[in-house]
Amino acid sequence: MKKVIYSFLAFLLIISTGCKKDFFDINENPNSPTADAITPDLILPMVLHQTAKKMATSYDFAAHWTGYWARSGTYGPSNPLENYDVTTTYEKDEWVNGNSSTVYNPTVSWYNILKDNDVMEKRAQETDQTFYVAIAKVIKSIGFMYLVDEYNNVPYSEAFDLENAIQPKYDKGQDIYNDLLVQLDEAVILLADADIIVNTGIENADIMFSGDAIMWKKLANTQRLKLLLRQSEILGAAPTAELAKITADGSGFLLAGETAEVNPGYTQAEYQLNPFYDTYLKNFAGSLSDDFNRANNYVLNKLRSNNDIRYQYYFSEAQTPLGGNTYFGFNFGFVDTDPNQPKAGNSSNVAGPGLAKSAIQPQWLFTSMESLFLQAEAMQRGWITGDAKATFQDAVRESYSWLGVADAETAANTYLAQNLPIVDYDGATDKIRFIVMQKYLSLVGINNFEAWVDYRRLGVPTDLPLSLSPSRNGRGVPVRLLYPQEEYSFNSANVAAEGTINAQTSKVFWDK
């Protein structure tokens, strides 16, 4: 945990250079940065941008493990991605900052984002800027949820107490989830009473909702529902007390057309492009960014065999499709050992026209269709009131609309009207998994992490193929990541207290 301080120090280093390339030059005199100059309105844009960027671009491994993406034949086998033999260095930038050739574009960890967020919250508390405090609590609930979903028990209560706990203890995943719900309770209360005038610069600093308290409450409520549904298989009964708080607030959830997305001013310039576009399609110079990730035949076949045209929006047509094996240019299969498998140019990239629409588009953080699917599942479980079938169908329609499908409503209705098991709500024997399967098909490349969560939580998709890597040796899709080697080096006593961790068997608390 020593490295948790690096992000904020790097933040200071960036502004001290006075460089014009970065979005977030935050002092009037960039040559004299001081701690007092780092006010909440100057920290918030960085926190929101980095949170959205991480959620959209850090989960390639989840996309591969859950059948969304596969490796192009331009590259050789990639382990542990393909043999599931997770190590203490694999995906460690979820916990500690990754390497970067430049200070302006590092791979930022959750702990570093959350450290900046914690600084913003403390500064806002000192000046009674409660809107910023509320936002910090919502972001805290998102970031720590991801950490728990990846590692189970993690440093939480002492994570940022650098004066008294440079080697922080680990909190139980269940205890962290419980407190995250409390954080959201407090956020909604603060938002209800926040005075915009007191919260200096909130309309500009809030690059997601421009200081709209109602939208922040909707996001908080939707995030609260997500935390509760994560625990669906371990709760003995509906979490009525928590759900009653959402009802009492009255703001509801994110609805159609209400995707939470950020835009600090993305432009066609180095370090300033939309993160998803920059990572998976083209860089500022117009060169292709990603020759590794390609469409997986598993999800392609699911979509194509059910006359679901969304595959044309999730993926792009291959530049040079191989003759005799094409369907809109999509011709790449699951990871295998065939040396003749399609190369990058012969297969479809993962930044289709429905995802990478432009270099300057907003970056999604929590989409409207995911919110609707969460609501449909909660309705089907009897947790909240409403028509589960109608909400499920609205979620599918929203997916088509969000992707920019031509005549989206008609196309979605045509898809839903088919006499096929994938859309036959009334005929589904297990309606919870039925809803979640359609959620899986609606978040391809958009929220890869959610697919990994639902596979562990509910076993959806039920027919997910495993890697054909000859070195897999019977291993299944990992149920968690391993603590990074830095923890064993710098926080050895606390990480050792967690015992022997196995990525195949040491499950997250909600995974039953």
End-to-end alpha carbon distance in the chain: 29
Q: Does 281 reside within a domain?
A: no
- The secondary structure element, H or E, covering residue 205 is helix 202-205
For residue 195, is it within any domain?
Answer: yes
CA atoms within 13 A on the CB side of 388: 19
Any domain includes 481:
yes
Looking at every residue in the chain, the average pLDDT score rounds to 90
Q: How many domains does the chain have?
A: 1
Which of the four pLDDT bands, split at 50, 70 and 90, describes residue 506?
Answer: very high
Q: Angle at CA 391, nearest 5°, toward 389 and 394?
A: 110
pLDDT at 436: 98
Contacts of 175 (CB under 8 A, 6+ apart): 156
pLDDT of residue 403: 98
- Which string of DSSP letters, residue by residue, matches 144-162? HHHHHHHHSSB--TTTT-T
Helix (H, G, I), strand (E, B) or coil at 346: helix
pLDDT value, residue 188 = 98
pLDDT in tens, 41-94: 999 999 999 999 999 999 999 999 999 999 998 998 999 999 999 999 999 999
Is residue 98 very low, low, confident or very high in pLDDT (cuts 50, 70, 90)? confident
Judged against a pLDDT cut of 80, whether residue 4 lies above it is answered with: no
φ/ψ of 24, rounded to 5, equals: -115, 60
Q: For residue 160, what pLDDT is reported?
A: 96
Q: In CATH, what number is assigned to the domain containing residue 8?
A: 1.25.40.390
Of the chain, the percentage scoring pLDDT greater than 90 comes to: 82
Does 297 reside within a domain?
no
Predicted confidence at residue 352, as pLDDT, reads 97
Least confident of 54-58, 334-338, 412-416: 334-338
Identify the weakest region by mean pLDDT among 81-90, 92-101, 145-154, 229-238. 92-101
Name the phi and psi angles at 25, rounded to 5: -80, 115
Q: Is the pTM of this model over 0.95?
A: no
**Domain presence at residue 87:** yes
Contact between 59 and 69 under an 8 Å Cβ cutoff? The reply is no
Q: What confidence score (pLDDT) does residue 489 get?
A: 97
Query: What are the backbone angles phi and psi of residue 274, rounded to the nearest 5°?
Result: -55, 130
Helices 368-380 and 213-230, interaxial angle, to 10°?
Answer: 50
Average pLDDT over residues 340-355: 88
Residue 386, in any domain of the structure: no
CB atoms within 10 A of CB 410: 12
Question: 434 in a domain, yes or no?
Answer: no
Q: pLDDT digit string (tens) for 290-335?
A: 999 999 989 999 999 999 999 999 999 888 877 655 555 554 343 3
pLDDT digits (tens, 9 = 90+) for 371-392: 999 999 999 999 999 999 999 9
**What's the average model confidence in pLDDT over 201-213?**
98
Please give the residue range of the domain that contains residue 95: 1-17+39-237+474-512
Residue written as tokens 């300033």? 272
Q: Could you identify the residue written with the tokens 């500022």? A: 284
